[in-house]
Amino acid sequence: MLTLTSSGLYCQAGDFFIDPWEPVDRAVITHAHGDHATWGSRAYLTSRTGLGVLRARLEPGACIQAAEYGEQVVLGSTTIRLHPAGHILGSSQVRIEHAGEIWVVSGDYKTDPDPTCTPFEPVRCHTFVTESTFGLPIYRWPGQEQVFSEINSWWRANAAAGKTSLLLGYALGKAQRLLAGLDAGIGPILTHGAVERMTSLYREGGVELPATRYAGAADSRADATGAIVIAPPYADASIWSRRFGDHSTGFASGWMMVRGARRQRSLDRGFALSDHVDWPGLLAAIEATGAGEVWVTHGYTGPVVRWLKERGLHAQAIATRFEGERAEVTETSEDPHP
């Protein structure tokens, strides 16, 4: 059904690519993050709820078709359905049916609840193509209530000490999930430009988020004292962040589960909050598909494949160019495409 080409995962029966990393004729896009949504293809298909954010991330005038979750789309001799992946607003798994065989490509996903996007939906299939960003048993996410309570206590303590809290997280998805979990009673919430743009698209998409103020409009340090500022990781240590004077820096990412990752960036605080599945979530998701064949992409492919094989499944690693949450840590600017 699918083959891996130099441009990405290709379905011959339907003549389309899923999240190609080079321009193609027809691209089905699981979600709008830079390593999945590449510029320049002639036609795109994505979910209705993801249309706004994808349009903002692709070149002006890109030809994008939108489908509701669960809606049938016929491509070539295949039938496509998009199902929610719970990763960010509008993220989808791609279900492909052809000649009685069903494949599902997960894209990036998480099974934990998230008020800013439609929850992940298990889809039965014969072959499941899954990500494995956090495919090791060291990754077991702590309860979200606990993480948000840590974030809010950190913010409260900083505010009491007259400091600004700079909270870093990917501008699309993570930032809005953070906003939804903040206790707006503690103080004002400011946003970096990249976060503000994405947040307004979330609001247009009907996601309720607390009131925010564009940090660029803060004209003195006093404006930010006691505030929390949500910014993408690359804003850390940049000239931009200096405007906040005395501040404490936190970073929300699954990588923060490991102490070394936090210390590498000399952060004050790391919060283990991820938009990807953890180890137990990954195993449960694979099992829920009922698939007998599993393709494992970006992340800890080797260990996950071996684990599945030892449990009698057919599994293999697929070398894609997706970066998973690593992109959050290494990205240097908002748009990888100029």
Stretch 307-326: interaction string toward other proteins, x if CB under 8 A: x--x----------------
Residue closer to other proteins, measured from CB, 126 or 321: 321
Query: For other proteins, which residue of 303, 313, 317, 318 counts as binding (CB under 8 A)?
Result: 303
Cβ–Cβ contacts within 10 Å for residue 279, how many? 20
Residue closer to other proteins, measured from CB, 136 or 182: 136
In whole angstroms, the minimum distance from the beta carbon of 110 to other proteins comes to: 19
User: What's the start-to-end Cα distance of the chain, in Å?
Assistant: 34
Q: How many residues contact other proteins, by CB under 8 A?
A: 25
Distance CA 126, CA 103 (A): 6
Residue closer to other proteins, measured from CB, 150 or 183: 150
Query: Are the C-beta atoms of 219 and 213 separated by less than 8 Å?
Result: no
Binders of other proteins in range 203-262 (CB under 8 A): 255, 257-261
* Phi (first) and psi of residue 37, to 5 degrees: -115, 95
Binders of other proteins in range 256-295 (CB under 8 A): 257-261, 263-266, 268-269
Residue closer to other proteins, measured from CB, 268 or 293: 268
In whole angstroms, the minimum distance from the beta carbon of 75 to other proteins comes to: 32
In whole angstroms, the minimum distance from the beta carbon of 60 to other proteins comes to: 29
Residue closer to other proteins, measured from CB, 220 or 332: 332
In whole angstroms, the minimum distance from the beta carbon of 35 to other proteins comes to: 12
SS3 206: coil
SS3 250: strand
Query: Are the C-beta atoms of 16 and 28 separated by less than 8 Å?
Result: yes
In whole angstroms, the minimum distance from the beta carbon of 26 to other proteins comes to: 27
Query: For other proteins, which residue of 302, 309, 314, 316 counts as binding (CB under 8 A)?
Result: 302
Binders of other proteins in range 120-159 (CB under 8 A): 136-140
Interface with other proteins, residue 170, by CB under 8 A: no
Residue closer to other proteins, measured from CB, 72 or 238: 238
Distance CA 83, CA 295 (A): 18
Which segments within the chain are labelled E, that is strand? 2-5, 8-11, 16-18, 26-28, 43-47, 64-67, 73-75, 78-84, 92-98, 101-105, 127-132, 164-168, 189-191, 213-214, 228-231, 247-252, 269-271, 293-299, 314-317
Query: Are the C-beta atoms of 268 and 249 separated by less than 8 Å?
Result: yes
Buried b (16+ CB within 10 A) or exposed e, 201-218: bbeebebebeebbebeeb
Which structure tokens are listed for 151?
Answer: 């974030």
In whole angstroms, the minimum distance from the beta carbon of 206 to other proteins comes to: 36
Which of 84-92, 182-190, 217-225, 302-310 is the region at the interface with other proteins (rule: CB under 8 A)? 302-310
Residues that bind other proteins (CB under 8 A): 136-140, 255, 257-261, 263-266, 268-269, 300, 302-303, 306-307, 310, 329-330
